Copies of this chain bind each other. A is one copy, B any other.
Amino acid sequence: MLHTFTTPTGPVVLREARREDVGQVVALLADDQLGRTREDTSDLTPYLAAFDAIEADPAHALYVLEDEAGTVVGTAQFSVLPGLSHRGASRAQLEAVRIAAGRRGGGLGSQFIAWTLAEARRRGCGSVQLTSNAQRTQAHRFYERLGFTASHVGMKLAL
C-alpha cells in the first residue's frame, strides 16, 4: 500500500498492481470511448505478458486504485526514462491513466496525479510527461489544472 486517498464515497488505496488485477485493469481500459474499439477483454494473455514485462523492470510501475470493496477504480502506468536532453534529466512518463466512470469528479484523479508528481520528484525526475488523445478535451483541462502545459504535439504511428 502506497497511499490512501479520501473521496466522497470512501477511502481508496493506491498500490502496485498484482497479476490478478490485470482483468480489472483491462476492463477499465476498455470502458472508454476510445478503448472499447481497441481492447479485447476475452483473452488476457497479451495483457498478462505486458504486465510481466512491467513488473520485471524497476523503471516501470503499474498502479491501481482500490476501493473498500476491493474493486479497481483507477489505474496508471508510471515509467522513469533516462535521456540526455534537458541536462541529462530523467523524465517520468504516465500512460493509460484511467479513473472508473462512476468515480470521477470527486477529486480522486487529481489526488492520484498529484501523488505521481511527488513520486517523480522523489525518483529524481526533472519533468513529468504524458500524451492525451486530441479528442479528450476534458482530460486536457484536468491536466492543465494540475500544472501541465499542452506544449507538444503527440505523434503516433501504428505498425
Instruction: Name A's B-contacting residues (CB within 8 A).
Output: 22, 25-26, 29, 35, 38-40, 46-51, 53-54, 57, 59-60, 62, 77, 79, 81-90, 93, 95-96, 117, 120-121, 125-134, 140, 143-144, 146-159
Contacts and interface: CB of A to CB of B under 8 A. Distances in A.
Given A126-B159, A129-B156, 15 more contacts: A26-B84, A29-B84, A50-B90, A51-B84, A53-B90, A81-B93, A84-B96, A117-B159, A127-B157, A131-B154, A133-B151, A140-B153, A144-B155, A149-B156, A153-B153
Nearest to A148: B155
This protein's copies in its complex = 2
Nearest to A113: B157
A85 B95 contact: yes
Nearest to A140: B153
A109 to B, nearest CB: 14
Interface centre among A40, A81, A85 (most CB of B within 10 A): A85
Nearest to A75: B84
A39 B143 CA distance: 27
A47 B155 contact: no
Interface centre among A83, A121, A133, A134 (most CB of B within 10 A): A83
B157 A132 contact: no
Contacts of A47: 84, 87-88
B133 A155 contact: no
8 contacts: A22-B84, A40-B87, A120-B159, A133-B152, A140-B153, A149-B155, A150-B155, A151-B156
